[in-house]
Structure 1
Amino acid sequence: MPLIDMPLEQLYQYEGRNPMPADFDDYWNRSLNEMKAVDAQVELVPASFQVPHAECFDLYFTGVRGARIHAKYVRPKHVQGPLPAVVSFHGYTGRSADWSELLGYPSLGIAIFAMDCRGQGGSSEDTGGVKGTTHNGHIIRGLDSGADDLLFRHIFLDTAQLAGIAMQLPEIDESRVGAIGGSQGGALAIACAALEPRIKRAAPFYPFLSDYQRVWEMDLAKDAYEELRTYFRRFDPLHEREAEIFERLGYIDIQHLAPRIEAEVLMAVGLMDTICPPSTQFAAYNKIKAPKSLEIYPDFGHEYLPFFQDKTMQFMLGL
């Protein structure tokens, strides 16, 4: 098959290049404690969009650093609870799916929560307050302020907080919640399952936000990863701080979160993906210790993967 990365047998052995900070676990344990101390002030508002077989709500909660986060919540009508649920995450810079796109799971008796990432295309709030660039890119947001100010730290925590809020609702069965998403959404599904260990099943496809140093070394710091190049060109043109920067990015590298996952995982990767290179995805997949399976699309890149959404839905029927 054509190759843009390592041969498949090497991909299954690949363990990643980006360094993991020595205090990585302490960092995330502290971060989770910060999240748990937040008064979420959950609010459910009936949405203007409604259909006969489901109830639609705008859900709001307060996340870390005081940001007000929005998610769409759709639950089936006339179904005896407690219900299984999925939390869904969107692609980079985007927003949660339209209401009409969220109706499939409620038709099967499964509630769905679709989060808007703070500072991107939806309705969630970005409270800002960091030193350094905010012009181009969320990966590098907060790099100059320190690891606790990395924006994706906050977004990863939002995913876990939303899952926890879903599990606390009286109509939801907390032991039957899954996480889904592609690209950035795939990364967030992995982060959610890693930071909220009660997630039962996760189905990420071609996850973003993994193995930044490998992306750099492949000369693929373009498209979704362009901001890595932007940062070095503008703030470290001689790469005097390169090791420091990649180590700090290690705090928000999903490959290092992957070993925390307890959920069963179904993942998909396209071997022609030049947006999120296959090796970076395998770096995360290979570190998952929980039961897992991988759907490989040899001729596909960062694009629609035929049948995988159907397989994901079938997978989530097992919640």
Structure 2
Amino acid sequence: MFTDLPEAELRQHRSDLCEPSDFDAFWADTLAEARSCGDPVAATPVSTPLAGVDVFDVTFPGFAGQPVRAWLRVPRGAPGPLPTVVQYVGYGGGRGHPLENLLWSAAGFAHLQMDTRGQGSGWSRGDTPDVAAAGPQAPGMATRGVDDPRRYYYRRFLTDAVRAVDAVVDLPGVDPGRVAVLGHSQGGAAALAAAALAPRVRAAVAHVPFLCDIPRAVTLTDSAPYREIRDYLAVHRDREEQVRRTLSYVDGVAFARRATVPARFSVALMDEIVPPSTVYAAYHDYRGEKELTVWRFNGHEAGGIDDDAAAVDFFLAALG
């Protein structure tokens, strides 16, 4: 069933997100610190049975210089340098197996699939720990360090997402002038942040992005990951204000207000995990050229392979 406002009202919905006054300084300082430390980017060839794709095991410095893993897949023998897609993974997943997710390299792109720190055991394996200390939290990642924006999990994750764009330009086969970002759900949140914060990004695709218009989302759905925030506040009743403040630093609506590259969004009107109005909120506030595909009879899977096919066309047009 439909899970949110009627479609006509969704087309008019705007977020009332109140950004912190130091939002831009917060992210500028965070990224400056990350860029000042860490080992160089490393890419090691991986032996696979693939006849048409070369795979590299990549390690790059993420938040605070901490090592983050990724797979780089490059079409074998393609004349380079190539248009490049940096992909971020949905909640609970990691970079997976080197033989998975071959669409982008098969379509002629260099493809970096970033691992997700501390995740990768829900449905797709990962190899990157989240080494930061955190206080009390609800089960899952959405409230890890949520009492303090500087200790919050998603500060680290979104910094990793930006640093993946920084790192990819030094990798084999990559055209540094043609880099795009892509993600679904949690990955869509990362794509919006990277579109706003990473100067090398030339286009973005955010399918049913998580972490948008968060205060509204928490009151509309009973599903995780937003449910984790509600569960935390149900116990820590006196911390609502500070939790809201922390979340405002990672809200996709704030990133959308700062992003200017061409972007493609998708939204699913029967999505019980990411409320449709929260996607519309980010889409409406997005500053760059944009398009939105509405899937009326789908849930959080959104358009599935149809979204993927449209994303390929979108990036071919945007990157050449």
Return the TM-score normalized by structure 2: 0.91
For residues 1-319 of structure 1, the aligned pairs below 5 Å read 3-121=2-120, 122-130=126-134, 132-134=135-137, 136-144=139-147, 146-169=148-171, 171-218=173-220, 220-236=221-237, 240-306=238-304, 307-318=306-317, 319=319
CA distance in 2, matches of 1:158, 1:50: 30
Code of the residue aligned with 2:212 in structure 1: it is: S
Alpha-carbon distance, 1:120 to partner = 0.3
- Once the two structures are TM-superposed, the CA of residue 127 in structure 1 deviates from its matched residue by 0.9
The answer as to whether partners of 1:90 and 1:97 remain within 8 angstroms in 2 is no
Contact 1:19–1:246 under 8 Å retained in 2: no
Distance in 2 of aligned mates of 1:35 and 1:216: 30
CA distance in structure 2 between the partners assigned to 1:316 and 1:242 by the alignment: 40
SS of 1:257's partner is: helix
One-letter amino acid matched to 1:203: V
Deviation at 1:50, TM superposition (A): 4.4
| Offset, 1:253 | 0.9
By how many angstroms is 1:234 displaced? 2.7
2:138, 2:232 within 8 Å by CA — same for their partners in 1? no
How much does 1:200 deviate? Answer: 1.2
Deviation of 1:57 (Å): 0.8
In the TM superposition, residue 11 of structure 1 has moved relative to its aligned partner by 2.0
Which deviates the most, 65-74 or 117-126? 65-74
Tell me: CA distance 1:134–1:61, structure 2 relative to 1, closer, same or farther (3 Å): farther
Specify the code of the residue in structure 1 equivalent to 2:6. P
Task: Provide the TM-score with structure 1 as the length reference.
Answer: 0.92
CA RMSD after TM alignment: 1.8
Shift of 1:175: 1.5
Between 1:3-12 and 1:250-259, the stretch displaced more is 3-12
CA–CA distance in structure 2, aligned partners of residues 28 and 66 of structure 1 = 15
Give me the whole-angstrom Cα distance separating, in 1, the residues matched to 2:96 and 2:302: 15
- Give the letter for the 1:38 counterpart: C
Contact 1:221 1:228 in 2 (8 A): no
Cα 1:221–1:31 shift into 2, 3 Å? farther
- The 1:116/1:134 distance shift into structure 2, 3 A limit, reads farther
Cα 1:167–1:44 shift into 2, 3 Å? same
Question: Shift of residue 282 of structure 1?
Answer: 1.1
The answer (yes or no) to whether the contact 2:267–2:302 under 8 Å persists in 1 is no
Identity %: 33
Greater alpha carbon shift after TM alignment, 108-117 vs 288-297: 108-117
Cα deviation per residue 1:272-308 (whole Å; 9 max; x = unaligned)?
Answer: 1111001111111111110000000111111251511
How many residues are aligned here?
312
Is the partner of 1:13 in helix, strand or coil?
coil
